[in-house]
Amino acid sequence: MLAKLISLLTISLLSLAVTHAAEPVLFEDNFNNGMSEQWQIVGLSSDDYRIKDGGLEVRVQSHTYTRESPMIKVILPFTSSGSVIASVDVEILDKFTASDEMVGMFLIDESGREFRATKARIDRKLLFAPPAVNFIGETGHEDDFSNYAYTYHPASEKSETLRIIVRSHYAYFQVGPNDNGKYQNFFSSAIRKNSKERGFCLCTTGAPEGAEHWVRFDNFRVTQKGK
C-alpha cells in the first residue's frame, strides 16, 4: 500500500514540473541587485559571503555539518499542509576535497533544518544527497527499512537546479529539469505538521581547515499553489 501511494505521489509531482512556472511567486531573489532584505544571516561573517556577477557566493565553512551550522535563511508564510515549491541553482566554484563537504538548500522550521536537497562529497564522489529510495521488498513489509534500496546519483560542479517540494506534510527532493522539462525524483520524507514557522535556508559546510572553497547560489524561487 505504501509503495503504491509513493508511486502515485511521484506521478503527481512530475506533472508539477511542467506547470510550476505559472504558480504565484511567494518569494524570489536572483541576486542581480544584491540580497533581499528578507534574508537572515546566521553564523556567517561579512567575509563569508558576497554578491558577484549576479549571484550569491558563499565560503564553504570548515566544520562538519551540525544543527548549529551557519546558514542564510528566509522565513515565509506557508505550512507543511500546503503545496510549495522551492528551487535554487547551485554551482561549486572550488572542487570539494573533504569527506561530507556539501552545499544545498534546506527546509527549516523554528527547530532548525528538517529536510535537505544537496550536493555532497561521499566516498570521494560528488553526489546528490539524500539518495533516491526504492521499495524492493514484498508487499506488506513496507515498514522494514531493509526492504528499500538507496541509490546515489552523480552530481556536477556546474550549476544545477535543486528543488524541494512541500506537499501535504511531506517533502520531496528533485533535480532538473531535463530537456523535456521533467525533474528527477530522489528522496522524500514526512515532515513536522505543527511547526510555528516555515522557511528555507542555503548552507555549505565541511571544507578542510584553512581551505578557500566557494560555492554559488542563483535564481532562488519559492512558489505556492493556490495563492
The pLDDT tens digits of the residues spanning 112-135 come to 999 999 999 999 999 999 988 887
Output Rg (C-alpha) for the chain, integer angstroms: 17
For residue 214, the SS3 value is strand
Dihedral sign, Cα of residue 117, residue 120, residue 122, residue 125? positive
At residue 141, the pLDDT reads 64
**Cross-strand bridge partners of residue 109:** 112, 198
At residue 110, the pLDDT reads 94
Measured CA to CA, the distance from residue 124 to residue 219 in angstroms comes to: 28
Q: Which three cell numbers stand for residue 59?
A: 565560503
At residue 22, the pLDDT reads 64
**Cross-strand bridge partners of residue 190:** 170
Which of 223, 192, 5, 210 lies closest to 113 in space, CA to CA? 192
Q: Which three cell numbers stand for residue 34?
A: 544584491
At residue 137, the pLDDT reads 74
At residue 172, the pLDDT reads 96
Dihedral sign, Cα of residue 202, residue 121, residue 51, residue 85? negative
For residue 131, whether the previous peptide bond is cis, meaning omega lies within 30 degrees of 0, is no
**Cross-strand bridge partners of residue 106:** 116, 201
Give, in degrees to the nearest 5, the angle at Cα 126 between 124 and 131.
110
pTM, rounded to two decimals: 0.85
Measured CA to CA, the distance from residue 202 to residue 41 in angstroms comes to: 10
Segment (H or E) for 124: none
Segment (H or E) for 217: strand 214-224
* Residue 94 CA: distances (Å) to CA of 98, 199, 214: 12, 28, 6
What residue ranges of the chain have pLDDT lower than 50? Answer: 1-21, 227
First to last CA, the chain: 32
